[in-house]
Structure 1
Amino acid sequence: MDTETLRQKLEQLTGNKTGIKQFGRQQSASLFGAGQEAQEQSVIYEGSLWVPLYESEGRVTALWIEKKGLSPIELQLAQFAAENYAAVLKASGFKEEGEKEARQLSAWLNTQLELDDDAGEIPDDITLKSRLFTDMIPFLLISENTHGSEIAYRPLLKLVRSYFDSSALLIPLQEKEWLILTRKELLTGTEDKDELEESDDEELLAQACMGLHELIASEWVGVFHVSVSSSIIPVKGLAGVITLLRETISLGRIFQVGEYIHLPWGLQLERLVNSIPDGRRRQLLGQFGDYTAVLAEKEMLLTLETFFQMDCNVSETAKKLYIHRNTLLYRLDKIKQETGADVRSFGDAAIMKLTMLLYKVTKRK
C-alpha cells in the first residue's frame, strides 16, 4: 500500500476529509521535532490530527485527518493505522519518490508518444504506477527560454508542490517540457465528476492554470506556456492526454499570440482550421474575399478578436478595449466599408471569424 492509498482508505473509514502535506524545515521542527533528538510525534493542529510519515532534508511529510465528529476511539484507531504505516516506511528505509522515479515514467511516456500509442496502460514495473489510479488533473508546462539555464527538477518540484500539495507529481518530458499531475479534489473540492457543472469545472481549471503560470513566471525569467485538460485516471491513456495538451499549446502559439494559457475547449474551431491542408486554406481565403487590409492592421485585428471574444457584444467589447462605444461602432462600420462584411450580423461574423483563423495559420505559421 502506498501513501495515497492509505489516505483514501482513512477518508473512507472515517468519513472525514484527509490530506497529505509537506512542511518546511522550521515548521517541521516546531510541530514534529524533526531534526531533533526527540522522535517525531503525531499532533493536533488546526482542528486535525497530523501524523508524520517520513522526513526528507528536515522537511516532514504528514498525513492529516479532520478531527471534527470523530469519537476518541475512532481518532485513536486512525492514528494507530497511520503511525503503523509510518513505522513500516522507516523500517523499509523508504525515501520520498523523486526524480529517478519521475524520469522512469518519462522514458516510457516518450516511447509511447514516438510510437503514437495514445491508449497504452502504464506497465507494473513503473514505480509511480501505484499513485496513478486516482482521479487527477494533468497540466503541461513548456518553456520557450532558449538562452537561460535549464530549470532543475528539484526546485521546480518544490514550487509545484507549494502551489498544489506534496502529492503532486512532476514528470519531465522533452527538454523544457514538464507534465504535472495533481489530485482533482485539490482544485474542485470533490472527487465526484458529476457534482460540478462542466462550465464551472473549466473555469476552475483555467484559474489554476493562471495561478500556476503566474507563480512559475515570477520565479524564472522567460516565456512559459501552460495547458490543462479535464481530470483523468492517468494509469491508462496518459500519452494521449499529453498529445492533446501539446497540440493545444502549439495551436495557442499560432492563434493566441501574446497569451500563455491555452485551453483545449477554447481552441476547437482553431483545431479544425489547422487540420485543413494548406492549399485548401489558401483557396478558401480567396473565395471568402480579400480582407488582408483589415486583418493586417493591428488595431482592427485586435478589435475583431475582442469583439468575438465578447460574443459580439458592443458594450462589453468597448469596455474591454477601454474605448467609447461610438469609437467601436466607427471601427465596425469601417470594417464593413472595406470588406462588405457587417460583423454585427451572425452570418458575416462567422465568415470573418473563419477568415481571421485562416489568415493567421496561413500567413503566420
Structure 2
Amino acid sequence: MISNQILQNTIEGLKGIARVELCVMDVDGKEVAATMDMGNCSKPAVEFAASPADSQEIQGYQYFKIYDEQQLEYILVAGGTGEDVYMIGKMVAFQIQNLLVAYKERFDKDNFIKNLLLDNLLLVDIYSRSKKLHIQTDVPRVVMIVESAGGKDNNVLEIARTHFGSNSKDFITAVDESNVIVVKEFSETDTGKEIEKAARALETTLLKEGIRDVRIAYGTIVHEIKEVSRSYKEAKMALDVGKIFFDERDIIAYSELGIGRLIYQLPIPLCKMFIREIFGGKSPDDFDEETLTTIYKFFENSLNVSETSRQLFIHRNTLVYRLDKLQKSTGLDLRVFEDAITFKIALMVVKYMKYMETYEY
C-alpha cells in the first residue's frame, strides 16, 4: 500500500504545477492527504463513492474515483469547477492510480525476493511468479549482505536503494532487523573484481552518509534465480566467518574464506577435543606476546626463516632458537610444513571457539 506521505508529496507537487487545490480521501470520507482543508467534502465523497459515476461535480468541487485493480481505493477532490479543473483532476487521478500500480508491483517483488532468499517457495512458484513480476530467471546474480552499527534502522535500506537507483534489475530488501540484502545483477563477463568494486562503491556511499562500522559480505555468482538463496547463505557465512578470521576487513567474499568456512561448521566439542589432542592441557594462545608475534610473522612470510628474522629485526639464530623452544613445548616444528599446518589450524580453531563463547553470552 502506498504511504500517506507519498500521496501528500505527490498532490503538493501537482498543485504547484496546476495551481488547483487537491484532497485525497478514503471510501469512508476520511482525509488521507490534502493541500487545504476540505472537511466539508467528506459527506459528498461518501455519497459519491456509493454512486455508479466515476467522476462528478458536487457543490463547486470535482470528484474522481481512483481504483486499485477494479477495487475503489480513493476519492480525489479537486477544488473548483470548469473544464480545466476537470481535466487536471482526471490527470491527477490517473497519476495516483499509476502510483498504486507501481508501489504494489514493488511490494510484490519485495515479498517475492524475501521468500526466494529464505527458501520459502516451491520451484514451480519461483518461475511462475518471476514471469508474472517480469523478473528474468537466467541472468548472473550475486547476493550481498550489508551490516552496520545501527542495523537497518539507520536508513541503510533507503540509502542502498538510492545508491543503486531505479535499476529494476537489482533488488534491495531486508529479511531481519539487522542487515540489508542486495540481490545484484551482473553481466556474463563480470568477475570477482567487478563484484568487489560494486561492494566498495556501496560502502563508500554509506560512509559518506555517516553510517558507521559497515561490513559487506557476498556469495558466489549464480546463474539461475532458483540458486539465489544459495548465494544468500554463502554471504551469511562470509559475514560470520569474516568477523572471526578476517576481522580487519570490511568487505569479504565467500570464495576468500578458505579453511575458515570448514572450521566454522565444526561443533565446539570436536574443536576442544582437537586442541587437547594437539596441545594437551595447553592452548596455542597461552604463549607470551613475543612467541605469538614470531609465530604469526613466520606464517605471514610462508615459513621463510631469513625473511621473518629480517622483518622482526632479530638475528637468524635467535629466530631458530625461538622455533626450537616452541618445538620442545608443543612437539610441533613450524619449519616442517605438516606441523605448521596443524599449528595454523589450531590457532584458527581457538579463535573460532573464543568467538562462539562471546557470541553465546
| Equivalenced residues, count | 262
Moved more, 97-106 or 217-226: 97-106
Change (3 A) 1:294 1:231: closer
Secondary structure of 1:130's counterpart equals coil
Secondary structure of 1:122's counterpart equals helix
Secondary structure of 1:154's counterpart equals helix
Q: Is the 8 A contact 2:141 2:228 kept in 1?
A: no
Q: Is the 8 A contact 2:242 2:249 kept in 1?
A: yes
Which string of whole-angstrom CA distances, capped at 9 and with x for unpartnered residues, describes residues 107-148 of structure 1?
A: 3454456567797863534565524542233322122426x9
- By how many angstroms is 1:242 displaced? 0.8
- By how many angstroms is 1:272 displaced? 1.6
d(CA) in 1 for partners of 2:297, 2:196:
19
Give 1:180's aligned residue: 182
Task: Give the letter aligned to residue 159 of structure 2.
Answer: P
Highest Rg: 1 or 2?
2
Give 2:353's aligned residue: 362
Give 2:25's aligned residue: none
Q: Is the 8 A contact 2:217 2:239 kept in 1?
A: yes
Give 1:212's aligned residue: 202
Secondary structure of 1:174's counterpart equals coil
Give 2:216's aligned residue: 226
Secondary structure of 1:230's counterpart equals coil
- By how many angstroms is 1:228 displaced? 1.9
Q: Is the 8 A contact 1:295 1:356 kept in 2?
A: no
Q: Is the 8 A contact 1:143 1:177 kept in 2?
A: yes
- By how many angstroms is 1:244 displaced? 1.5
Task: Give the letter aligned to residue 174 of structure 2.
Answer: P
Q: Is the 8 A contact 2:220 2:255 kept in 1?
A: no
1:350 to 337, 341, 353: 341
Give 1:135's aligned residue: 140
Matches within 5 A, 1:29-178: 101=105, 103-111=107-115, 122-125=126-129, 129-145=134-150, 149-151=153-155, 153-161=157-165, 167-178=169-180
Q: Is the 8 A contact 2:147 2:216 kept in 1?
A: yes
Change (3 A) 1:241 1:137: closer
* Larger relative contact order (CA 8 Å, sep ≥ 6): 1
Change (3 A) 1:262 1:304: farther
Q: Is the 8 A contact 2:172 2:182 kept in 1?
A: yes
Secondary structure of 2:154's counterpart equals coil
- By how many angstroms is 1:167 displaced? 5.0
Secondary structure of 1:364's counterpart equals helix
Change (3 A) 1:130 1:207: closer
- By how many angstroms is 1:285 displaced? 0.4
Q: State TM-score, norm by structure 2.
A: 0.56
d(CA) in 2 for partners of 1:285, 1:136:
40
- By how many angstroms is 1:177 displaced? 1.7
Matches within 5 A, 1:272-351: 272-289=262-279, 292=283, 294=285, 301=292, 304-305=295-296, 307-308=298-299, 311-313=302-304, 323-324=312-313, 326=315, 329=319, 335-336=326-327, 338-351=329-342
d(CA) in 1 for partners of 2:217, 2:328:
39
Q: Is the 8 A contact 2:157 2:173 kept in 1?
A: no
Give 2:63's aligned residue: none
Task: Give the letter aligned to residue 161 of structure 2.
Answer: L
Moved more, 110-119 or 267-276: 110-119
Which string of whole-angstrom CA distances, capped at 9 and with x for unpartnered residues, describes residues 278-333 of structure 1?
A: 212111100111552645656755664565455445677789xx754759947656
Q: What root-mean-square deviation, in Å, do the aligned CA atoms of Structure 1 and Structure 2 show?
A: 4.4
Task: Give the letter aligned to residue 330 of structure 2.
Answer: T
Task: Report whether the alignment pairs 1:257 with 2:242.
Answer: no
d(CA) in 1 for partners of 2:169, 2:144:
14
Q: Is the 8 A contact 1:112 1:239 kept in 2?
A: yes
Q: Is the 8 A contact 1:129 1:235 kept in 2?
A: no
Task: Give the letter aligned to residue 154 of structure 1.
Answer: E
Change (3 A) 1:136 1:325: farther
Change (3 A) 1:277 1:230: closer
Change (3 A) 1:142 1:113: same
d(CA) in 1 for partners of 2:242, 2:103:
29
d(CA) in 1 for partners of 2:110, 2:327:
52
Task: Report whether the alignment pairs 1:248 with 2:238.
Answer: yes
Task: Give the letter aligned to residue 153 of structure 1.
Answer: L
d(CA) in 1 for partners of 2:154, 2:169:
24
- By how many angstroms is 1:106 displaced? 4.2
Q: Is the 8 A contact 1:136 1:182 kept in 2?
A: yes
Structure 1: gaps spanning 5 or more residues: 1-35, 37-89, 186-190, 194-200
d(CA) in 2 for partners of 1:155, 1:250:
23
